[in-house]
Amino acid sequence: MEYLKERHDSDLIEDIRNEINADENLKELIDRHTGIYMEIINNYIPNDNKIVNKKELIDDKSYNIYQAVLKYDQERGTKFPTFLGNETKWMCLNKYNKNKKHIHVSCEETQSNVIEALSTGDESSGRENQEIFNRAIQLCKVNPDKRVEKIFEMRYIIGERNKVMPWKKISEELNMSIQGCINIHNSTIDKIKIEINKDYVK
C-alpha cells in the first residue's frame, strides 16, 4: 500500500488509536521505524551480555513499538522516532537493572510486568510470586473469552525455553492481528491486577 508511505507518523498513529485500518497503519509504522528500534537495542544490549535476553526484545519489536504508539503525545512537540528511541532506551536500561537485581513483584506493577516477572521462573522471586502467577493463570482459564486463556498460555507457559512467546507467533496461531492479541492481553492484565489486589487486601 504505497499511499501509506506518504502519510505522516501522526496520521498513522491517530488512525491506529481510532482503529481505522489499524493493522495496515501499524505495520507501516513498524516497517518505517524498525531501524531506530534495532539501533537502540544493539547499542544498549551487547550480544554477549548475560543479563538481558536480546532475542526476546527483538522478537517483541511489534509489541514494544505498539506500546510506544499508545504512549506517544504529539502535543509535547517530540517527533515519534525520537520518542520511540527514548522509550526503547529506557526499556533496555530498566530490563538490565531489573534483571541484575532480584526480581521483586508487587501488585502495583503495571501491565505485563506482573506476569512477565513471575513467568521467568527465577527462584529468587519466591513462593509468593509463584502463587500470584498461578492465580493469574487460573483467572485466565475462567474468563468467558476463550482467547484469553490461549493468549496467556502461549505467551507465558508454552514459550520456548521458558521465554515469552513472540506476539507475531501468537497472532499467527490464533489467526488474529498482533494489535488484537495485545489489546486482549493488556485489558486482561488490568482485570487480573484488580482481583489479585483484592486477594492481598483481605
- The verdict on residue 192 lying in a domain is yes
- The verdict on residue 136 lying in a domain is yes
At residue 72, φ and ψ (nearest 5 deg) are -65, 135
In 3-state terms, what secondary structure has residue 106?
coil
- The verdict on residue 108 lying in a domain is no
CA-CA distance, 76 to 71, in Å (whole number)?
Answer: 12
Whether 57 and 147 map to the same domain: the answer is no
Q: What is the pLDDT, as a whole number, of residue 47? A: 83
**For residue range 142-194, what is the model confidence (pLDDT) as tens digits?**
889 999 999 988 888 776 555 678 888 899 999 998 889 999 998 888 888 88
- The verdict on residue 83 lying in a domain is yes
CA-CA distance, 39 to 88, in Å (whole number)?
Answer: 10
Whether 65 and 118 map to the same domain: the answer is no
Residues with Cβ < 8 Å from 150, sequence gap 6 or more?
173, 174
Whether 76 and 140 map to the same domain: the answer is no
Residue of 127, 10, 135 whose CA lies nearest to 74: 10
CA-CA distance, 110 to 193, in Å (whole number)?
Answer: 9
- The verdict on residue 106 lying in a domain is no
**For residue range 46-99, what is the model confidence (pLDDT) as tens digits?**
887 777 888 889 999 999 999 999 999 988 889 999 999 999 999 888 887 776
Using alpha carbons only, give the angle 181, 38, 171 rounded to the nearest 5 degrees.
Answer: 15
Asked if residue 127 has pLDDT above 70, the reply is no
Residue of 167, 142, 137, 163 whose CA lies nearest to 152: 137
Whether 123 and 73 map to the same domain: the answer is no
Whether 123 and 81 map to the same domain: the answer is no
- Label residue 130 by pLDDT band (50, 70, 90): low
Asked if residue 114 has pLDDT above 60, the reply is no
Whether 84 and 117 map to the same domain: the answer is no
Which of 43, 70, 100 is the last residue in one of the domains?
100
Q: Residue 107 corresponds to which cell in the numbers above? A: 501488585
Q: Which amino acid is at 106?
A: S
Q: What is the pLDDT, as a whole number, of residue 28? A: 92
- Label residue 118 by pLDDT band (50, 70, 90): very low
Whether 69 and 152 map to the same domain: the answer is no
Q: What is the pLDDT, as a whole number, of residue 159? A: 65
- The verdict on residue 36 lying in a domain is yes
Which of 58, 75, 100 is the last residue in one of the domains?
100
In 3-state terms, what secondary structure has residue 50?
coil
**For residue range 10-50, what is the model confidence (pLDDT) as tens digits?**
999 999 999 888 889 999 999 999 999 999 999 888 887 77
Whether 18 and 82 map to the same domain: the answer is yes
Whether 65 and 123 map to the same domain: the answer is no
Residue 166 carries which DSSP code? P
Q: Taking a C-beta distance cutoff of 8 angstroms, is the pair 184, 145 a contact?
A: yes
The parent domain of residue 127 ranges over: 113-201
Q: Residue 47 corresponds to which cell in the numbers above? A: 550480544
Q: Residue 78 corresponds to which cell in the numbers above? A: 517530540
- The verdict on residue 62 lying in a domain is yes
- The verdict on residue 107 lying in a domain is no
Whether 87 and 128 map to the same domain: the answer is no
Residue of 16, 19, 44, 42 whose CA lies nearest to 30: 16
Which of 79, 100, 121 is the last residue in one of the domains?
100
Whether 92 and 117 map to the same domain: the answer is no
**pTM of the full predicted structure?**
0.57
Total domains in the fold of the chain: 2
CA-CA distance, 152 to 119, in Å (whole number)?
Answer: 11
Q: Is the dihedral of CA 145, 56, 40, 45 positive or negative?
A: positive
